[in-house]
A = this chain, B = another copy of it.
Amino acid sequence: MPERSSGGDDLFGPHNLPYGVFTTADEPGRRRLGVRLHDRVLDAGAAARALGSPYEALLAHGDLGPLMAAGRTAWRDVRRALTAWVSVPAHRAELEPLLHPLDTVELHLPYAVADYADFYSNEHHAANAGAILRPGGRALTPNWKHLPVGYHGRAGTVVVSGTHVVRPTGQRKTLTASEGDPRPVFGPTAKLDIEAEVGFVVGAPSPQGAPVPLAAFRDHVFGVCLLNDWSARDIQAWEGQPLGPFLAKSFATSVSAWVTPLEALDAARVAPPARTEPLLPYLDDTHDDEPGGLDLHITVSVNGEEVSHPPFSSMYWTAAQQLAHLTVNGASLRTGDLYGSGTVSGPERAQRGSLLELTWDGAEPLDLEAGKRTYLEDGDEVVLSAWAPGPDGTRVGLGEVTGRVAPAVTGS
């Protein structure tokens, strides 16, 4: 039905159909569930109503929560219905007025984030970070190949793509301090970084005390987004012992406005890298029917210039393993739980997913059109985008996540 994007590629065709939440300029207070089709947004609740669909009850909402909570069978059925709606010529006239051009709508965080956890599951990233941050030590901690290392972050500061990110202020040690002086200084971070990650959004909850096995991954995870885990490296280095990152991460985490249904990525499933340590049974996916990796091709751009192409297929731990680990102690899942994959890096320099790695903590600046960069400067804009193989030779686009650095708030 609707014509294709002028871009020529078909990243957001009927084989994709990611979900989001939008408002229009004439009704800025009314949030509506939208489905992206090429460069337009279908008002999904209005479409269900117009077509007399029984799924109106799941789609006529201002956020994705009810659909996310409805579970895997409902996700499949609603997706089938949407695919039919946008593919059957007979619906064209009815749906045309319900399709809003992307550049006329505002996109919002599409669901309430419940708990946010973040992993550290890419061996290239972990080895690089270990070599930079713990020189002389083992690059990987002894646990790294036995479990997906993770920690909890701040759900309340997860923001939607496009939100400005204010440079955080905090304590850090400086190079100018004499080596023997243990005192920190206070001020805006001088090492504002990104982490290119993929986020997994939990739809169906699970009760406390009931681990979610590998095989139940698709019963609980609704979809996928891109995620920028903004990080202040100097704050992190000072605060991080012994309990891990806190303020170095909690000021903002950006996610794409579009959640791609897991089903849209079926053609992108690939085997993860060979594991070099035996896996405990609850993490052992070696005999699973469906490979646990995802062949997502990420691009990191700074001020419009591509600086890296991290390959998600390089992740040592899969999203299903991360979920099994997250819940193996009996922790419950809630609709809206979000977990990040951890920074995605490949073996090549141009595949690294953070400036920490790309510039080796500033020692090897990037020579960009906008000038040399070690870490981010005020005004810099970072964009993460990605695509994956789709059915029949198509490509599936993930919604991009953008963020511009705003200057630190002055005072105190």
Contacts and interface: CB of A to CB of B under 8 A. Distances in A.
Interface of A: 114-115, 117, 120, 130, 133-134, 141-143, 146-147, 149-157, 159, 166, 168-171, 182-184, 186, 208-211, 213, 232, 235, 238-248, 250-252, 277-278, 280-282, 325-326, 328-334, 337, 409, 411-412
A354 to B, nearest CB: 15
A142 B248 CA distance: 17
Contact of A157 (B169, B182, B244, B331): B331
| Closest A-B pairs by Cβ, 9 of them | A244-B244, A168-B329, A152-B152, A243-B244, A151-B243, A247-B329, A251-B329, A166-B209, A141-B241
A351 to B, nearest CB: 22
A227 to B, nearest CB: 16
B146 A171 contact: yes
Copies of this chain, tallied across the complex: 2
A147 B239 contact: yes
A166 B208 contact: yes
Nearest to A209: B166
A242 B134 contact: yes
A280 B373 CA distance: 30
A159 to B, nearest CB: 7
B142 A329 contact: no
B325 A409 contact: no
Residue picked from A208, A213, A238, most chain B C-beta under 10 Å: A208
